Structure 1
Amino acid sequence: MRPYILAETNWKEIKKEPFEVAVLPWGATEAHNYHLPYGTDVIESDYIAAEAARKAWEAGARVIVLPTIPFGVNTGQTDILLDINMSPSTQAAVLNDVLEVLNRQGIRKLLILNSHGGNDFKNILRELGLKYPDMFLSSCNWFQSMNKSEYFENAGDHADEMETSLLLHLRPDLVLPLEQAGEGRSKKPRIQAYREGWAWAERNWSQISEDTGVGNPKKATKEKGERFFEDVTNKMSRLFVDLAQAKLNDLYE
């Protein structure tokens, strides 16, 4: 039993703890090239949240990790078999119910640990922040927290070398041999503004990628994944500790 994982602990134990921060991992259920499981984002959320919470707990932060939400925004993948979409309005409803409980029970800090690029919680948290003014609501994208080029040779953002290396470290039993993986080639927008990144339009996934991957996974290794996992969970745990120690009436300097 890990006392910082809500799904594993029990009422006898949690009644003793003055929890300071609730962490809500949020993933997605979607195709990840030919070689990675549909639950890749969920697996990453589970393991990164748990390991970061372990480190934070050992540093004295009273963090509780809530069960991972397994569905994310997949509105650009409607024609890819069993990519499950959860609309932003549904995410807002789920978050509202979670926050209502936390607020009523005196846990005033929430961090969404996001594991899926299609999820964007900023506007949802802005709106819910007005409803729960005594709470501190935040989110982070763990996959943007590190300079990936220091760990991996090939760039990408979906079923790429980074995600494949992580899964080779965390759940190698769910990864097919890399010779079965597609190369993750992706098409770029023809319109210059979208190529430059200062204008945005949703990608139609089946039009940009033949294998659903974006980024070549062929150079992924377990060792790269292990190193990256250690460093990213160190950084996440620091955030957990900082949030636990933060005074909500003194957040700025």
Structure 2
Amino acid sequence: MRPYILAESNWKQIKEQEVALAILPWGATEAHNFHLPYATDVIEADHIAAEAARIAWEKGAKVMVLPTIPFGVNTGQADIKLDINLNPSTQLAILRDIVEVLHRQNIHKLLIVNSHGGNDFKPILRELGLRFPEMLLVSSNWFQLPDKKEYFDEKGDHADEMETSLLLYLRPELVLPLEEAGEGTERKSKIAGIREGWAWSERQWSMVTADTGIGNPKAATKEKGEKFFRAVTGKMAELYIQLVNVDIQDRYE
């Protein structure tokens, strides 16, 4: 039993346990090329949030990891079979209820560990911050740290070399042989502003990729996955510790 994982804890333990920071991993359930499981984002969120919590806990940080939310925003994948969508308004409703519970119980710090590119918590936390001004509400995207170019050869952002390497390390029994994976070729927008990144439109998944992947996974290895996992969880643990220690009313230099 890990005392920093709520799902493994019991009331005898919890009723006297200090919680300075609640951590909410948030994933998605969606196709990841031909070779990775639908729960890829959930598996990554589970392991990264928990390992970072272990590191932080062993350094004295009173953190608690809540159960991972397994569904995310998949509005651009409506025609991909069993890609499960939560609308942003649904995410707001879920988070509002969770924040209300934490606030009522005097747990005033919440970190979302986001594991899915389609989730965007900034506008949601802006709205909740007005309703709960005593709370410190933070979101993080683990896949944005560290620089992937230091660890992987191929670019990508979905079922790519990075995600495939992580799953080869975390849950290799769920990964098909890489010769069965698609190449993750992405079709680019015909609109220059979108290609250049200063304009945005949601990608219609079945139009941009034939195998649901974006990024060639063929160079993935377990060893790359472990190295990247250690780097990510080390940095995430630092964030946990800083959030535990910061004074909500005095958090700017």
TM-score by length of structure 2 reads 0.99
Counterparts of 1:19-168 in structure 2, within 5 Å, are 19-168=19-168
Q: CA deviation at 1:134?
A: 0.4
Q: One-letter code of the match for 2:210? A: E
Corresponding position of 1:224: 224
C-alpha separation in 2, matches of 1:182 and 1:36: 11
User: Aligned residue for 1:197?
Assistant: 197
Indicate the RMSD between aligned Cα atoms, in angstroms: 0.4
1:17 positional shift: 1.6
1:19 CA drift (Å): 0.6
- 1:31 partner amino acid: A
Q: How far off its partner does 1:15 sit?
A: 1.8
Query: Could you tell me how far 1:18 is from its partner in structure 2?
Result: 1.4
Q: C-alpha offsets along residues 197-219 of structure 1, whole Å, 9 cap, x if unaligned?
A: 11100000000000000000000
Give CA-to-partner distance per residue, 1:132-164, whole Å, 9 cap, x none. 110000100000021000000001000000000
Which aligned pairs between 1:232-243 and structure 2 lie closer than 5 A? 232-243=232-243
Partner of 1:54, secondary structure, is helix
Letter in 1 for 2:32: H
Q: Which amino acid aligns with 1:5?
A: I
Matched residues in 2 for 1:145 and 1:252: separation?
A: 23
2:16 is matched with which residue? 16
TM-score (norm 1): 0.99
Three-state SS of the structure 2 residue aligned to 1:134 is coil
SS of 2:190's partner is coil
Query: How far apart, in 1, do the equivalents of 2:155 and 2:59 lie?
Result: 34
Runs of 4+ in 1 over 4 A off after TM superposition: none
Please, which runs of 5 or more residues in structure 1 have no aligned partner? none
**Once the 2 structures are TM-superposed, how far is the Cα of residue 47 of structure 1 from its aligned partner?**
0.2
For residues 44 and 66 of structure 1, what CA distance do their matches in structure 2 show? 15
Q: Report the alpha carbon displacement of residue 14 of structure 1 after superposing the two structures with TM.
A: 1.4
1:16 Cα deviation (Å)? 2.2
The one-character-per-residue Cα deviations of 1:155-200 (angstroms, maximum 9, x if unpaired) are 1000000000000000000000000000000011111100011110
Amino acid at match of 2:193: A
Query: In 2, Cα distance between the equivalents of 1:19 and 1:80?
Result: 40
Residue 213 of structure 2: aligned partner: 213
1:74 partner letter: N
Q: Secondary structure at the match of 2:223?
A: helix
**Distance in 1 between residues matched to 2:231 and 2:144, nearest whole Å:** 13
Counterpart AA for 2:195: R
Q: Separation in 2 of the partners of 1:230 and 1:12?
A: 32
Letter in 1 for 2:185: R
Secondary structure in 2 matching 1:72:
coil
Tell me which moved more, 14-23 or 150-159.
14-23
Take 2:196 and 2:138, find their aligned partners in 1: how far apart are those partners? Answer: 28
Q: Secondary structure at the match of 1:7?
A: helix
| Partner amino acid, structure 1, of 2:87 | S
Query: 1:249, CA displacement in angstroms?
Result: 1.1
Note the C-alpha offset of 1:58. 0.3
Aligned to 1:184: 184
For 1:70, the aligned partner's letter is: P
